[in-house]
Chain A
Amino acid sequence: AQSVTQPDIHITVSEGASLELRCNYSYGATPYLFWYVQSPGQGLQLLLKYFSGDTLVQGIKGFEAEFKRSQSSFNLRKPSVHWSDAAEYFCAVGLWGSSNTGKLIFGQGTTLQVKP
């Protein structure tokens, strides 16, 4: 069955430090992978997505993610975290194919706290 795992429920980093949020997926076909950010009580904002091509994907707000097929991973990184990055981060896989109409399967989410 398709699934997305974010091993880290909560991460705290100091402002200016680097960040890596982990994401592993399980999907038999070509994965369409996404990272979203959610502020409290808000909808989701797309940070970046991977469909094909270059496995290192650049997104908004200085985020990037690397797709590693051999590890079934799509980890999100940022070289220097800002206090405004504190939020909930979700990794997701989009299911497209004959029996799927593009629904997204989300990971459990990682709460990022940024220390001054």
Chain B
Amino acid sequence: GAVVSQHPSRVICKSGTSVKIECRSLDFQATTMFWYRQFPKQSLMLMATSNEGSKATYEQGVEKDKFLINHASLTLSTLTVTSAHPEDSSFYICSATTGSDYGYTFGSGTRLTVV
């Protein structure tokens, strides 16, 4: 079945630094990738939608300059948290879809801790 690999699974960084999270579709071409954020004991909130070769579409209230999303190929999307602060600490999850079967495949998530 379709597999999405997300790395790293955990990362701890210092306040003010940037962190990059990768999301790769291993055995299919992902026309669209989605980035979600999940706070403890809460639901997943969509941050942005990215299509290969075009700019990401951010949800209302998400700072596009802080959360940089790149979808340079049909198998790779990256989320860079720039100038991270403790309030950015969260669980970030990506998902991918080919669009053809209305199905989604999720990565295993990245636990970001900013100290």
Q: Write the residues of chain A forming the contact surface with B, with a CB cutoff of 8 angstroms.
A: 32, 34, 36, 41-46, 49, 51, 90, 94, 96, 101-109, 111
Contact = CB atoms under 8 A, between A and B. Distances in A.
Contact of A101 (B42, B49, B93, B108): B49
Contacts of B107: 43
B90 to A, nearest CB: 12
Interface residues of B, number: 25
Given A104-B95, A104-B104, A109-B42, 4 more contacts: A94-B102, A105-B46, A107-B43, A108-B43
- Report whether over half of chain A's contact residues are helix, strand or loop; otherwise say mixed: strand
A49 B103 contact: yes
- Report whether over half of chain B's contact residues are helix, strand or loop; otherwise say mixed: strand
6 contacts: A43-B107, A44-B44, A90-B43, A101-B57, A102-B32, A104-B104
Given A41-B109, A43-B106, A44-B93, A103 B44 contact: no
A96 to B, nearest CB: 6
B44 A43 contact: no
Contacts of B78: none
Interface in B35-90: 41-46, 49, 51, 57
Nearest to A32: B102
B25 interface: no
B114 to A, nearest CB: 18
A102 B98 CA distance: 10
Contacts of A34: 104
